[in-house]
């Protein structure tokens, strides 16, 4: 752990929804993916904040810029999840496939917006389901 004192640069900033049901499993998954060191930001609805709210996008971009400046991050993990209240929840979709398809499209759109602002950061799209978290 003392090595962490001298560690200043790492690869990943993750942006997920604020939904408390997914925080623990998301953090555990991120720790496995990254070796345990990453920056982490929550936004209501994750992709929804980036696509639908300019103030949230600006706020998120301030964090990305700081993460880049202080920690030289190379990748941004963008994480949407199943039954997201910001998007109305699972009840607003005909079935799980429709819900996943919707989130995949939102992840694509949000990644496009962020790539325009930060062309040198690799955006990785992630979907958190009840039983697993996966890159999409
Ligand atoms: Zn959510």
Res 82: pLDDT: 98
Res 19: pLDDT: 98
Res 1: pLDDT: 54
How far is the centre of ligand 1, averaged over its atoms, from the C-alpha of 45 (Å)?
4
Per-residue pLDDT of the chain (136 residues; tens, 9 = 90+): 558 999 999 999 999 999 999 999 999 999 999 999 999 999 999 999 999 999 999 999 999 999 999 999 999 999 999 999 999 999 999 999 999 999 999 999 999 999 999 999 999 999 999 999 999 9
Res 3: pLDDT: 86
The 10s digit of each residue's pLDDT in 20-40 is 999 999 999 999 999 999 999
Structure tokens at 104: 């995949």
How far is the centre of ligand 1, averaged over its atoms, from the C-alpha of 122 (Å)?
23
- Residues lining ion ligand 1 (Cβ < 5 A) are 17, 19, 84, 86
The CATH code that applies to domain 2-135 is 3.40.1050.10
How far is the centre of ligand 1, averaged over its atoms, from the C-alpha of 43 (Å)?
8
Res 108: pLDDT: 98
How far is the centre of ligand 1, averaged over its atoms, from the C-alpha of 33 (Å)?
21
How far is the centre of ligand 1, averaged over its atoms, from the C-alpha of 84 (Å)?
4
Neighbours of 22 (CB within 10 A): 24
Q: What is the C-alpha radius of gyration for the chain, rounded to an integer number of angstroms? A: 15
Task: Provide the whole-model pTM.
Answer: 0.96
How far is the centre of ligand 1, averaged over its atoms, from the C-alpha of 4 (Å)?
31
For residue 14, which of 33, 30, 25 has the smallest C-alpha distance? 30
How far is the centre of ligand 1, averaged over its atoms, from the C-alpha of 19 (Å)?
5
């Amino acid at each position: 752990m003392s090595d962490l004192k001298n560690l200043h640069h790492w690869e990943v900033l993750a942006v997920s929804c604020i939904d408390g049901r997914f925080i623990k499993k998301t953090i555990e998954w991120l720790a496995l993916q990254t070796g345990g060191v990453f920056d982490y930001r929550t936004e209501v609805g994750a992709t929804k904040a980036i696509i639908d709210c300019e103030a949230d996008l600006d706020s998120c971009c301030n964090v990305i810029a700081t993460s880049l400046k202080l920690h030289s991050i190379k990748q941004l993990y963008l994480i949407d999840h199943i039954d997201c209240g910001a998007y109305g929840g699972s009840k607003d979709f005909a079935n799980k496939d429709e819900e996943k398809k919707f989130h995949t499209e939102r992840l694509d759109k949000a990644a496009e917006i962020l790539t325009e602002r930060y062309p040198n950061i690799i955006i990785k799209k992630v979907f958190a389901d009840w039983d697993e978290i996966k890159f999409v």
